[in-house]
Structure 1
């Protein structure tokens, strides 16, 4: 048992090191004032990149807030939509079920740029272009399929007898959902929320097309810094863009390790 624990800790340590190692060059770049080839270390050091993150004029704080609000909203909405969709494809057997699954995955199969160019006209017509609401709605296109498939796989392996027992004991549909179904799907919901958050958090093309440059998220600021060849600013923004997802992955891994074991395999899906 001790040997297994040591091996497990060793594997986790190596995995953590591999995840953090690519961030080391970004950290060095973010505190460098001048770094010319072929120098192995910067010729000058500067805190300009780190000051950029808190400078009101750089719009980084605003971009961070906007990205977080959009990603959290998208994760919640995607899971709310994916929950009934996942139940439909994971529990019930009906004619056209394969077609429904295909339609759910269609936004992922079709290139996002082509889909966005097609629906941009409707967003402009209904006043959703250049707004946070429009960006949230367009981010649902690539996120809802993942949430539906993950939750559908969880529903396919869910023992529905727990729900039947709750209903027989007098619990209504809402209480059964909140106090029986959702706790049983905790691991799948955490995973779906994490995936959808990360997809929305890192989205660039959809945000640029629908947001029109008016909705400024961290990826937009990052690509602007890269385009201006400001490596110090790009490195500092890159650390910020990557840092929060890494923290969320670590927290989610902790939550999943303490949760009751739940199968999220494909099962009967």
Structure 2
């Protein structure tokens, strides 16, 4: 037992180290001017990247808030679409169910370049190119497979016995969904929403193509620095990108927990 406990402890700390070490490197690079090989520590430090990102002229923080808003809209719409689709795939039996499960994964199986080019032509005809709505609709497409897949597994696990009990006791579909189904799938909603947000938040090519340069997201500001090899700027943008996602996940989780605790206290 002691050997097994020691083994799992080593594995756990190894995983933590592998997760934190790249973040430490990013943090150091954020203040590093010069770090030639094979030096263990940087030769020179500076605040060029920090000053630029937080300066009003760079519009980085404004773009970050816009990106959070865009990805939040995409997340909410995608979850609204994913819940009924996942419930149908997770609880009901019908012909072609396996085919539909496969087709839902098509947006992440088919190369996004080919799909985006075709959609772009259609959006130009519909007047959705270079618009906020067009970018939102484009982001929803690769996000739906993640939302539907996660929530389908959730519905398969919880089943529909609790919903049936609520209906037997006289609850209408509205009350059944908001007071029975929604609380039960809330952990799945947090997981699905977090993943959907990341997918939308990190979209570059689709945003650039459909937005036409008029809709600029935070990842679009970060990517050129990564591509050009400016490690100081790329590290700062990467850290802000990661921290924004983590903060949002914590806020969502705390909000959901606080909401359902308040609901339970009210009904008690």
Distance 1:7 1:171, change over 3 A: farther
Unaligned runs of 5+ in 1: 261-269
> Are 1:105 and 2:105 an aligned pair?
yes
CA contact under 8 A between 2:128 and 2:134: conserved in structure 1?
A: yes
Q: Does structure 1 conserve the Cα–Cα contact (< 8 Å) formed by 2:190 and 2:253? A: no
Structure 1, 182-191 or 25-34: larger mean CA deviation:
25-34
Taking the aligned partners of 1:11 and 1:247, their CA distance within structure 2 comes to 26
Q: TM-score, length-normalised on structure 2?
A: 0.85
Q: In the aligned structure 2, how far is the partner of 1:8 from the partner of 1:247?
A: 29
Which residues in structure 2 correspond to 1:191-206 (within 5 Å)? Answer: 191-206=191-206
**In 1, Cα distance between equivalents of 2:67 and 2:158:** 34
The equivalences for 1:49-88 within 5 A come to 49-88=49-88
Q: SS at the partner of 1:188?
A: helix
Q: Which residue of the partner structure matches residue 265 of structure 1?
A: none
Distance 1:7 1:38 in 2: 33
Question: What is the alpha-carbon distance in structure 2 between the residues aligned to residue 5 and residue 39 of structure 1?
Answer: 38
Residue 151 of structure 2 corresponds to 151
Structure-2 residue corresponding to 1:41: 41
The 3 A distance-change label for structure 1 pair 15 and 250 is farther
More helix by share: 2
2:215 & 2:80 partners in 1: Cα distance?
Answer: 24
Q: Judge which range, 163-172 or 133-142, deviates more.
A: 163-172
Structure 2 distance, partners of 1:35, 1:143, is 38
Higher mean C-alpha displacement, 33-42 vs 185-194: 33-42
In 2: Cα distance, 1:102 partner to 1:206 partner:
23
Q: Cα 1:13–1:244, aligned 2, differ >3 Å: closer, same or farther? A: farther
Q: Structure 1's 237 and 112: CA in aligned 2 closer, same or farther, altered over 3 A?
A: same
Equivalent-residue separation in structure 1 for 2:11 and 2:251 (angstroms): 18
Distance in 2, matches of 1:252 and 1:65, equals: 16
1:137 aligns with 2:137: yes
Return the alpha-carbon distance in structure 2 between the equivalents of residues 226 and 157 of structure 1. Answer: 42
Aligned pair in 2 of structure 1 residues 173, 30: CA closer, same or farther (>3 Å)? Answer: same
Structure 1 residue 25, shift from structure 2 partner: 1.9
Q: Distance in 1 between matches of 2:106 and 2:83?
A: 18
5+ long unaligned stretches in structure 2: 261-268
Root mean square deviation, CA, Å: 3.1
Deviations 1:87-136 (A, max 9, x none): 11111111122222222111111111111111101111222222222111
Question: Matched residues in 2 for 1:128 and 1:74: separation?
Answer: 16
Residues 1:235 and 1:72: Cα distance change in structure 2 (over 3 Å): same
Q: CA deviation at 1:237?
A: 0.7
Deviation at 1:8, TM superposition (A): 7.7
